[in-house]
């Protein structure tokens, strides 16, 4: 079994709980209040700015030119690919750049990003990569799950969000991180396995906290 699949086995219950979260369910059936989605969009935009910095640290820590190029591409994919979804919604919701800059980052948000940045700055390249994986991979799985709901991808408002996270481009980016984690963890020690599993569980818990934060418009 690939190490990424071993990681997943440790968080399966946490990830399954995402599908039942009222925020995620609301996107899938189209009933989520727009003001909650707007709050989420701004917070997630701010989150992605720090998320891209973790990939940038990967460029610094990479031990081959190929990995450096890969991390560099992921910085671009985050800032110019995933955030394209956010910019589209911000236009539809009338969110200005000034509003984003004046928004206070929620405690759940800043705790999550600071955790990833701390892991990335002090840990190995494998630890950095695993800290990124939960966000990328769980959004792909959520997108796939929601896309199976009849009419969800065609919803006039939330359909664009779902389609963005099941796109070929997003799936390709996620697969790059998965493949990297599997490569970097080949033959690692039991001590490192324990550390990486802990990081993955923690970031998976942070993902749930982020959905909670979005639904409650603050935490």
Can you tell me the distance from the alpha carbon of 155 to that of 30, in angstroms, rounded to the nearest whole number? 7
For 33, list phi and psi in degrees, rounded to 5.
-65, 135
Tokens 């928004």 -> residue: 103
Backbone angles phi, psi at 177, to 5 degrees: -65, -45
For residue 19, give both structure tokens. 């599908």
**∠ CA 12-42-50, rounded to 5°:** 65
Element (H, E) at 145: helix 125-147
C-alpha 184, offset from chain centre: 20
The question of whether 207 is a catalytic residue gets the answer: yes
Catalytic site residue from 135, 156, 160, 190:
135
DSSP three-state, residue 188 = coil
Q: Is residue 135 annotated as part of the catalytic site, yes or no? A: yes
For 96, phi then psi, to 5°, come to -95, 160
- Positions marked active-site: 135, 207
């Amino acid at each position: 079994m690939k190490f990424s699949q071993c990681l997943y086995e440790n968080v399966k219950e946490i990830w399954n709980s995402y599908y039942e979260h009222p925020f995620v369910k609301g996107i899938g059936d189209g009933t989520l209040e727009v003001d909650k989605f707007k709050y989420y969009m701004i917070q997630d935009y701010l989150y992605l700015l720090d998320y891209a910095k973790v990939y940038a640290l990967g460029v610094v820590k990479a031990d081959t030119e190929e990995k450096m190029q890969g991390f560099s591409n992921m910085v671009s994919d985050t800032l110019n690919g995933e955030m394209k979804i956010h910019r589209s919604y911000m236009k539809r919701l009338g969110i200005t750049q000034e509003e984003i800059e004046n928004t206070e980052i929620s405690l759940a948000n800043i705790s999550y990003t600071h955790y990833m940045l701390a892991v990335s700055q002090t840990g190995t390249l494998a630890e950095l990569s695993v800290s990124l994986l939960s966000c990328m991979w769980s959004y792909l799985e959520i997108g796939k799950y929601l896309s199976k709901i009849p009419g969800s991808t065609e919803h006039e408002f939330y359909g664009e969000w779902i389609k963005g996270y099941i796109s070929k481009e997003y799936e390709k980016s996620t697969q790059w991180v998965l493949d990297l984690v599997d490569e970097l963890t080949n033959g690692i020690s039991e001590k490192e396995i324990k550390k990486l599993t802990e990081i993955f569980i923690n970031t998976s818990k942070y993902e749930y906290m982020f959905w909670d934060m979005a639904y409650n418009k603050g935490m």
